[in-house]
Amino acid sequence: MNDPVILHQWHVVGIDEELKAGAVKATRLLDRRLGLKRDAGGALSAECDDGHPLPLLARYGFLWTTLGTPERPLFDIREADEPDRVNVVTGSVAVRTSAPRCIENFLDMGHFPFVHTGLLGEEPHTEVKEYDVRIDEEKDEVIATDCRFYQPRAAAASAGGADIEYIYRVPHPYCAVLYKSCPFDRGRFDVIAMFAQPMSEEHTFAHTLMSVVDDTSSTTDIRHFQLSIFGQDKPILENQLPRRLPLDPRAETPIRADRSSIFYRRWLRAKNVAYGTLAQAG
Amino acid sequence: MALTDDQKRGWHPVASSTDLAPRHVFHGRLWGQELACWRADDGHVNVWVNRCLHRGVRLTIGRNLGHELLCQYHGWRYANRSAGCTYIPAHPADAPARTVCSHVYPSLERHGLVWVALDGDAGNAVIADIPAGGTLLRQMSVAVAHDTVRRALEAGGAAGCSPFHFRDEARALTLFLQPVDAGVTVIRGILDAGADADIARLRALDHEFAMLRDRLEREHPDVPQPIAAEFRPVSEELAKVPERRRRGSTRRMRVERKWCVAPDVMAFRLVPIDGPLAAFQPGAHVDVHLPNGLVRQYSITNGPDDTTGLVIGVKRETDGRGGSAALHDTVQEGDVLALSEPRNNFPLRRDQLHTRLIAGGIGLTPLLSMARTLRLSGVSFELHVFARSREGLPFADELKALGGAVHVHTGLDAEASSAAFARILADQGEKEELYVCGPPAMLDTVRGTAAGAGWQDDQIHFEYFANERKLDRSGSFTVALARSAVTVEVPSGRSIVEVLREHDIDIPTSCEKGACGTCRVDVIEGEIDHQDVWLSDAEKAANRCMMACVSRGRGRIVLDL
């Protein structure tokens, strides 16, 4: 592991409520084995396989640590703290691919009609309309705005489909946050986040969070929905080759619909992210 | 471990013919390289690199549609034979660049096996010639290196005809070794024709090979590292967004068949002399270079399920300059013509709930290709064909095959036609598109009727066969190119395209008559004298783009070039 950018990041390593008081849990991060611990008094700590103590903090329902010394605190998701929202930890799924492949798939709308048929998209409504992507230099994030995509049964009240508005944020090389127009409260957004835990360069634990304004669905319903969505992505991700995300523009064939992915790859390349990526095509 | 040039050489079996079942995509492997193998409905066997060009997803998890292979991730479609991408659903209004083409390995079927040459240089290697009619044994996969199996076969009395081909006379067997990876080898046996091949004998042979497998895997637990899969970079052009349009080269094709499809319309089936046909999309056309030096554009009528030869329809134009006459009178079956690669100025969206197609006479040709595509894609559509008489209807047999979606209107005068258009264009539903092709007067009427019935400009797609307006090439003007920082004078009698070509600035063109839309350029400032029939009145009034082949400027204009 000689990627200082990734080394000095906060990384997700588990679900907060799964680590009970007095319990220890083992996990993997950046090819190292870690032990996570919550003592009887509730204090969190972690240890690396070489005996080094590591910081451990709880945020957004998940546990986070670092093997380096991060320059900045963990990124902010303001909405998660709004009092009338339900924050649901929607599960963790092991995926046999790199963390950046998981993030890129999370940013992609074009696959909705083919992979999430009947849920997030449906043929023949396949067009990805023009949208804006930029890199916010100050916050050091990739931001895609004005994204619209047809979703069947978009409104809770009606059976018909409609265009849903999306905003995507990539505040961390392995984390992305999606804001999606809310069917229950127009003008507000549901928030869905993907936090990818890089166990190794080609083994990832994909954790998802949903922060929603929804007083009708139970936590279990929300969890089932998100897991069934990711269950459709997993076989695609595991059949994507090479597993590490190619940063060379000539490795694959981008189209206009892929502008958020093009910006994400460029951003990783500019940062010199090497872990989980490939610099050269061929 | 990387693949060596030595390993790439020669033909190897990768599947049995029966592995390529109808509508199935078989996952083959040779020297660590993954192969997507599929048989189209017309019997053709395709062996491609097992990756979609777009995002690298395995094509073996895709769907074999019989005439195209569909990637599961974003629904990209790749054509039988050429592996050219024919449709990108995320951009339904755009024709994919024809250079978006998956890598095709040379392949063929022999002795009940599918053979592949990894280096593409198949001509220099031969497939072992063995007597036909043998019985293919069940294949045996052994998790050891190829050399280990080879030595074991030789120790067992088989004679090596090559490192991958063995003859076991005692058992009346021919054996081929498929190097799946550095540490995995498949034994494919063929029992001689006429040898005893009853079930007991086949079982005994299978048992023998299973014992051999178990012994070799036990004795050689340490196998070499797997060979890394090669990932080919895509062309530089494709890595850029958006794709640029380029003028294509020509391809020689033979007239396989010439036949009459209406009293004044001949159809031609053109097949490539070498290699597969380039991929084409519905609405595409080719430039045909004729023996008399003329170049003419003709639409492709094929559906996506016919990729062996292009079919075009040519109407005899009595007052033309001799293009159609040359094809009707001079060109015969067996003749060779030069054709451009297919180009598409008339792309078909497939993301609509319903599509209306209106054809006038020979204008049917691109719409025939569209109707065939929509039918195979399961998209709802109706095709209206206007002709002077039943007998004058071109491609009547082909239309019959399209069934109830086709409506033929014959013998209508201008007034009755207008009334028919009004009926066809009424009751416009949500997510509908209209495609029209035919004589200019008919197109003008249909466009006017559609606009009156509430159709938006971007829902109406049309292709003019000709610009019948009289062109005014008088008057000179100045053209400034903003990006190239070049200013040129266009004198009277010459076009922008011609003048810029002399300055090595090549605007792609096709018809050069203001009818096809290929040479559209963006206008930054200045007044334009629009002389084309391609832009709508609203677009002409907006003055933001022009057809550089026929339209002219007044005074000084600035173009985004």
Chain-chain contact of A239 with B61 (C-beta, under 8 angstroms): yes
What is the average pLDDT across B126-130? Answer: 79
* Confidence band of B185 (pLDDT split at 50, 70, 90): very high
Tokens representing residue B505 in the block:
């600035």
User: What is the residue-averaged pLDDT of chain A?
Assistant: 93
Winning range, highest mean pLDDT, from B254-268, B269-283, B528-542: B254-268
* Confidence band of B94 (pLDDT split at 50, 70, 90): confident
CA distances from B65 to A274, B82, B95 (A): 39, 15, 20
Tokens representing residue B468 in the block:
């019948």
- Chain B contact set for A262 (CB, 8 A): 241
Tell me the C-alpha distance between B164 and B462, whole Å: 57
List the single residue in B73, B92, B350 with the smallest CB-CB distance to A115.
B73
Tokens representing residue A2 in the block:
């000689």
Please state which CATH number belongs to domain A78-278. 3.90.380.10
What is the average pLDDT across B395-400? Answer: 94
Chain-chain contact of B91 with A257 (C-beta, under 8 angstroms): yes
pLDDT tens-digit series, residues A181-219: 877 777 788 999 999 999 999 999 999 999 988 777 788
Residues in CB range of B331: below 8 A, 6 or more apart: B255, B258, B268, B290, B291, B337
The residue ranges of every structural domain in chain B are 1-127, 130-232, 250-340, 354-464, 477-559
Helices (H), B83-184: 146-155
CA distance B35 to chain A (A): 13
10 Å CB burial of residue B484 (0-12, 13-18, 19+) is middle
CB pairs under 8 A between A and B: 115
Chain-chain contact of A240 with B56 (C-beta, under 8 angstroms): yes
Please state which CATH number belongs to domain B477-559. 3.10.20.30
pLDDT tens-digit series, residues B328-362: 988 899 888 889 888 888 889 999 999 999 999 99
A155 SS3 class: coil
Residue B53 near chain A (CB below 8 Å): yes
H or E element that contains B503? none
Chain-chain contact of A123 with B351 (C-beta, under 8 angstroms): yes
Is the pLDDT at B503 greater than 90, yes or no? no
pLDDT tens-digit series, residues A216-262: 778 898 899 999 999 999 999 999 999 999 999 888 988 889 999 99
Tell me the C-alpha distance between B96 and B83, whole Å: 13
List the single residue in A236, A241, A256 with the smallest CB-CB distance to B72.
A236
What is the average pLDDT across B235-252? Answer: 60
B522 SS3 class: strand
* Confidence band of B469 (pLDDT split at 50, 70, 90): confident
CA distance B203 to chain A (A): 36
Chain-chain contact of A249 with B91 (C-beta, under 8 angstroms): no
Residue A246 near chain B (CB below 8 Å): yes
Distance of CA A142 to the CA centre of its chain: 13
CA distances from B317 to B321, B323, B324, B454 (A): 8, 8, 6, 35
Chain-chain contact of B57 with A236 (C-beta, under 8 angstroms): yes
User: What DSSP character marks residue A19?
Assistant: S
pLDDT tens-digit series, residues B472-482: 888 899 998 87
Residue B230 near chain A (CB below 8 Å): yes
Chain-chain contact of B100 with A110 (C-beta, under 8 angstroms): no
Chain-chain contact of A111 with B74 (C-beta, under 8 angstroms): yes
Chain-chain contact of A114 with B351 (C-beta, under 8 angstroms): no
- Predicted local distance difference test score (pLDDT) of residue A154: 67
Chain-chain contact of A123 with B56 (C-beta, under 8 angstroms): no
Is the pLDDT at A4 greater than 90, yes or no? yes
- Predicted local distance difference test score (pLDDT) of residue B246: 41
Chain-chain contact of B56 with A252 (C-beta, under 8 angstroms): yes
* Confidence band of B216 (pLDDT split at 50, 70, 90): very high
Q: Which CATH fold topology does B250-340 show?
A: Elongation Factor Tu (Ef-tu); domain 3 (2.40.30)
* Confidence band of B528 (pLDDT split at 50, 70, 90): very high
Q: Has domain B130-232 been given CATH number 3.10.450?
A: no
- Predicted local distance difference test score (pLDDT) of residue B243: 36
Residue B233 near chain A (CB below 8 Å): yes
User: Looking at chain A, which residues constitute the CATH 2.20.25.680 domain(s)?
Assistant: 4-65
What is the average pLDDT across B519-534? Answer: 88
Is the pLDDT at B321 greater than 80, yes or no? no
Chain-chain contact of B241 with A254 (C-beta, under 8 angstroms): yes
* Confidence band of B242 (pLDDT split at 50, 70, 90): very low
Class in CATH terms, B354-464: alpha beta
List the single residue in B53, B58, B431 with the smallest CB-CB distance to A253.
B53
Chain-chain contact of B91 with A255 (C-beta, under 8 angstroms): yes
Q: Which CATH fold topology does B1-127 show?
A: Rieske Iron-sulfur Protein (2.102.10)
Percentage of chain B lying above the pLDDT 70 cut: 95
Please state which CATH number belongs to domain A4-65. 2.20.25.680
List the single residue in B75, B232, B234 with the smallest CB-CB distance to A126.
B75
- Predicted local distance difference test score (pLDDT) of residue B50: 97
- Predicted local distance difference test score (pLDDT) of residue B244: 34
What is the average pLDDT across B106-134? Answer: 84
What is the average pLDDT across B57-79? Answer: 96
- Chain B contact set for A147 (CB, 8 A): none
Is the pLDDT at B241 greater than 80, yes or no? no
Q: What is the largest CA-CA distance in chain A?
A: 57
List the single residue in A114, A253, A256 with the smallest CB-CB distance to B72.
A114
Q: Are A272 and A279 in contact (CB under 8 A)?
A: no
Residue A258 near chain B (CB below 8 Å): yes
Percentage of chain A lying above the pLDDT 70 cut: 97
pLDDT tens-digit series, residues A141-179: 999 999 999 999 765 545 678 889 999 999 999 999 999
CA distance B19 to chain A (A): 21
- Predicted local distance difference test score (pLDDT) of residue B330: 85
- Chain A contact set for B55 (CB, 8 A): 240, 252
Residues in CB range of B444: below 8 A, 6 or more apart: none
User: What is the residue-averaged pLDDT of chain B?
Assistant: 89
Is the pLDDT at A52 greater than 90, yes or no? yes
Residue A2 near chain B (CB below 8 Å): no
